[in-house]
Chains A and B, each alone.
Chain A
């Protein structure tokens, strides 16, 4: 029994890492661009499909590097030509725009790659268990957790130490002042959007290797990512990651005891969090309450 719970908890941790990566991207875009990016899940699926197509040429590692960049490039075009026009309008418009984009992109993916799932081959190096007792510790799963932590660490370093990162954080606090100080906030928001999409792409490829590659793979991940943001605390990227891991593990452990409730438990956690601590785990007090 113990090992089963451990297995489910670890599975939950993996899924939670995907939630967390996705929530970080969503959170970035939500903060500076003020947009709930409904197309986040489809960008994620798109990156995974691009990786699938590139793999025969570039191999797994090459695709892992190139595909998120391609997705981010598309993200740049979307921000530049569509979302930028809506910054001054009410939030409903950007929300409906990304929602419509998600429909179009998903249809596109279905037309190009087919509605059925596609197999993703992961490198042999990562494809076997690391331990006989803890059989679920495959190289790939450990790699996923490591990659999530590493890329989040890199993001935090960028946000903390580079000029771009400092401007992004300043923009989150007060965009008008940043603009007054002579920063091109249009460029800043574009860069931020691209960064968010890059994270979606990365999560997409990692998730495809674990959960399978289907046109709707993003849909199943985006809702828990919203929950992760709310639970982790609005405006806190670290909170988004923690929230993702937390609900992932909680949902995994629930699978061991009461499988039918595993999808619902995360919403219960969100509800409890909203009642007892509306700002979430690491959210700042008073922000948008």
Chain B
């Protein structure tokens, strides 16, 4: 029963050898990124960015694709992660790991507290409330000048080498990529674990038919709030990593434009599949990086990606591939 449900929901089941093969090649490529990426005209920081956006979009997708909650405010938790890391490193600590933990928990705690407020409404009104709540943090960051640096953003912090007993690891570009990869893997493992558990199956069941779940005596709103919190936590982890990557953060990391970008990443790759947002992040980040280096009107190109993928490619890349292989 639960396996059927999971398959119907597009949860990862990995029964076919082909999926195993694709996953194996995928992870091998990820581990080898610093060695091959210069040869295809990329750079390692770009790969780190892809992983970070992928993690954020996958975290959002737990709520969006697997629970059916359309949040347009997840940039807030991303940005809270950024500011949490920045402020910790600037004022409190030299430990990169501690700052990462603080940023992640800050964003996760905010999602835990605000989820129950947002779930008081359903459907597009839920989306509207999540946007409004998210924008609140944007305005706080802009106005609380002396702490956050206002519109100019928060500067004056940088990631420090990792100190273990008897070992110091400098976080240069390559090492930092592996640092991101480790936390990307942890985040994926968390999301995967949730989706395989009874809790994850409840999320999917709510997406499919929330009324029926309510008739069964499941406190639907509480479950959606829980999905909101877990997804916010993962997005905050991604945000924290993003601040470490840039050694900088600004209100743009909190703005609803970022929420929109994370949503389109999920849709572009396929929001019904676990790895969909990862594929979406590769496409989105590469196109944005390339186009914004070529022309000034790159916003139009991003806008066109939104419009065209919604009109002609609603299943996303992985959804499209799955449907073709099913036929």
Contact = CB atoms under 8 A, between A and B. Distances in A.
Contacts of A36: 124, 127-128
Interface stretch (A6-14, A92-100, A134-142, A155-163): A92-100
Interface in B297-315: 297, 299-300, 302-307, 310-311, 314
Interface of B: 64, 70, 72, 117, 120-125, 127-129, 131-133, 135-136, 139-140, 142-144, 256, 260, 263-264, 267, 297, 299-300, 302-307, 310-311, 314
B127 A234 contact: no
Contacts of A103: 299-300, 302-303, 306
A96 B124 CA distance: 12
A93 B70 contact: no
Contact of A288 (B122, B131, B143, B300): B122
Interface stretch (A55-63, A123-131, A199-207, A263-271): A263-271
Interface string A72-85: 00000000001001
A226 B136 CA distance: 12
Contact of A93 (B142, B302, B310): B310
B70 A91 contact: yes
Interface size class of A (residues with CB under 8 A): 35 or more
Contact of B132 (A99, A107, A261, A267): A267
Contacts of B122: 288-289
B132 A97 contact: no
Contacts of B140: 264
A96 B120 contact: no
Contacts of A94: 310
28 contacts: A36-B128, A91-B127, A92-B70, A92-B263, A95-B124, A95-B127, A96-B263, A96-B310, A97-B311, A100-B302, A100-B306, A100-B307, A101-B307, A102-B303, A104-B304, A104-B307, A226-B128, A227-B132, A229-B128, A234-B125, A263-B139, A263-B142, A270-B132, A274-B117, A274-B120, A278-B120, A288-B121, A288-B125
A111 B142 CA distance: 27
Contacts of B121: 230, 234, 274, 278, 288-289
Given A100-B306, A104-B303, A95 B72 contact: yes
Contacts of A90: 70
